[in-house]
């Protein structure tokens, strides 16, 4: 990794915690040459590329299928007592292997004020899993609330397009603040406050064991996201996303951006669930000819589906890109 890419990598980590993306101070000579060669004539090439690109939802369909099947396996295992995947997303056991959500384990240990060995075992299994697949892949490929929020986002954008609501923004530093607040509350009170309001846990348990009053809180969140702030919980509040984002720093699986073929038409940023991670696709911001997208990326694949030139692809560090 070049010095410029290393600097970019650390800047992406800061962006994950809440800093707004900014134009890079240093750009490699190879990237500069490509930036200079891009001309207005690219507009005609872009029209040609978009005209010959059929609408693709390949990665979205794969992601929704995996998400539904994972959560359905919890339901079926409990309903028929087949003991394949027991528990819920916060803590479970898959054919004897303990799986514990990293953020949940941290909250419990902070509340108890000591390291619990059994939690470490389950946490270690999950840590290895998401280090391989990409930390925030959990959000878009497994979390049931994420799917509900994605549907709510479509309603929100429909209302925005008709000027019935306004798309509001909140400082992304609030997510880091919430992470600290919930950690301090667990430590100070001895109670895992976040676990009682986590929409991920509430929806997971409701699917498996049946609905309860806690679903009213989830409904309130979705209503807020539809009428006020697009994807408010996932973007600006959820500590789970930040915890898995940190894991994503070390994962070999990422989405890679290739500067040469990009026309900077912006379709990828329009569909991205966390558009701040795609600041590098803005014209003049790519520091190298190939740039991995930052750790806050959920690897949802929406940008890969809509890119008319294939400039965004799934990639495993050190291996050829995934098709």
Separation between Cα atoms, residue 200 and residue 144, nearest integer Å: 6
Q: Are 272 and 210 in contact (CB under 8 A)?
A: no
Mean pLDDT for 134-151 is 95
Mean pLDDT for 226-241 is 95
Last residue of a domain, one of 206, 227, 246: 246
Domain shared by 206 and 226, yes or no: yes
Domain shared by 32 and 102, yes or no: no
Q: What Cα–Cα distance (Å) separates residue 86 from each residue in 72, 92, 93, 163, 296? A: 12, 5, 5, 45, 29
Q: Higher confidence at residue 111 or residue 318?
A: 111
Separation between Cα atoms, residue 136 and residue 143, nearest integer Å: 10
Domain shared by 39 and 65, yes or no: no
Domain shared by 195 and 302, yes or no: no
For the segment 11-64, what is each residue's pLDDT rounded down to a tens digit? Answer: 999 999 999 998 888 888 888 888 777 654 555 555 655 555 556 899 999 999
Pairing of strands 91-94, 85-88: antiparallel
How much is the mean pLDDT over the chain? 90
DSSP-derived 3-state class of residue 94: strand
DSSP-derived 3-state class of residue 312: strand
Last residue of a domain, one of 246, 265, 280: 246
- H/E stretch holding 92: strand 91-94
User: What confidence category does residue 201 fall into, taking pLDDT thresholds of 50, 70 and 90?
Assistant: very high
pTM of the entire predicted model: 0.90
Domain of residue 41, residue span? 3-53+253-316
Q: Based on the structure, what is the number of domains in the chain?
A: 2
User: What confidence category does residue 83 fall into, taking pLDDT thresholds of 50, 70 and 90?
Assistant: confident
Phi/psi region, residue 128 (left: phi>0; alpha: psi -120 to 50; beta: rest), is: alpha
For the segment 236-277, what is each residue's pLDDT rounded down to a tens digit? Answer: 999 999 999 999 998 999 999 999 889 888 899 999 999 999
Separation between Cα atoms, residue 142 and residue 144, nearest integer Å: 6
Domain shared by 13 and 64, yes or no: no
Q: What is the percent of the chain with per-residue pLDDT over 90, rounded to a whole number? A: 68
pLDDT at 60: 95
pLDDT at 321: 60
Domain shared by 209 and 165, yes or no: yes
Mean pLDDT for 290-308 is 94
Residue 323 lies in a domain: no
Domain shared by 109 and 233, yes or no: yes
Query: Residue 232 half-sphere exposure, CB side, CA atoms within 13 Å?
Result: 17
Domain shared by 176 and 268, yes or no: no
Domain shared by 110 and 88, yes or no: yes
Domain shared by 282 and 302, yes or no: yes
175 CB-contact burial (10 Å; exposed 0-12 / middle 13-18 / buried 19+): buried
Separation between Cα atoms, residue 55 and residue 226, nearest integer Å: 26
Domain shared by 147 and 241, yes or no: yes
Last residue of a domain, one of 217, 246, 275: 246
Residue 321 lies in a domain: no
The angle that helices 173-189 and 102-112 make with each other, rounded to 10 degrees, is: 40
Residue 322 lies in a domain: no
């Amino acid at each position: 990794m070049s010095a410029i890419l290393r600097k970019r990598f650390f800047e992406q980590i800061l962006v994950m915690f809440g800093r707004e993306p900014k134009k890079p101070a240093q750009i490699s000579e190879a990237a500069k040459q490509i930036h200079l060669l891009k001309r207005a004539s690219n507009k005609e090439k872009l029209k040609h590329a978009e005209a010959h690109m059929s609408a693709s939802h390949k990665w979205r369909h794969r992601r929704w299928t995996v998400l539904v099947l994972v959560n359905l396996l919890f339901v079926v295992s409990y309903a028929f007592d087949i003991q394949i995947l027991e528990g819920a997303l916060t803590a479970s056991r898959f054919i004897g292997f303990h799986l514990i959500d990293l953020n949940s384990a941290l909250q419990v240990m902070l509340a108890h004020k000591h390291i619990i060995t059994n939690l470490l075992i389950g946490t270690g299994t999950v840590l290895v899993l998401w280090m391989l697949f990409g930390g925030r892949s959990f959000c878009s490929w497994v979390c049931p609330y994420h799917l509900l929020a994605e549907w709510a986002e479509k309603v929100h954008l429909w209302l925005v397009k008709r000027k019935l609501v306004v798309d509001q923004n909140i400082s992304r530093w609030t997510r880091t603040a919430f992470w600290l607040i919930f950690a301090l509350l667990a430590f100070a009170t001895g109670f895992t406050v976040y676990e009682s309001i986590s929409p991920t846990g509430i929806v997971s348990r409701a699917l498996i064991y049946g609905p309860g009053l806690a679903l009213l809180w989830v409904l309130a969140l979705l209503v807020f996201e539809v009428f006020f702030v697009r994807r408010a919980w996932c973007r600006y509040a959820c500590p789970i996303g930040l915890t898995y984002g940190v894991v994503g720093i070390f994962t070999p699986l990422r989405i890679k951006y290739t500067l040469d073929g990009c026309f900077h038409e912006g379709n990828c940023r329009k569909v991205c669930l966390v558009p701040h991670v795609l600041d590098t696709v803005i014209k003049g911001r790519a520091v190298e000819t190939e740039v991995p997208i930052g750790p806050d990326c959920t690897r949802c694949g929406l940008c890969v589906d809509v890119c008319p030139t294939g400039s965004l692809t799934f990639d495993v560090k050190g291996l050829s890109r995934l098709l």
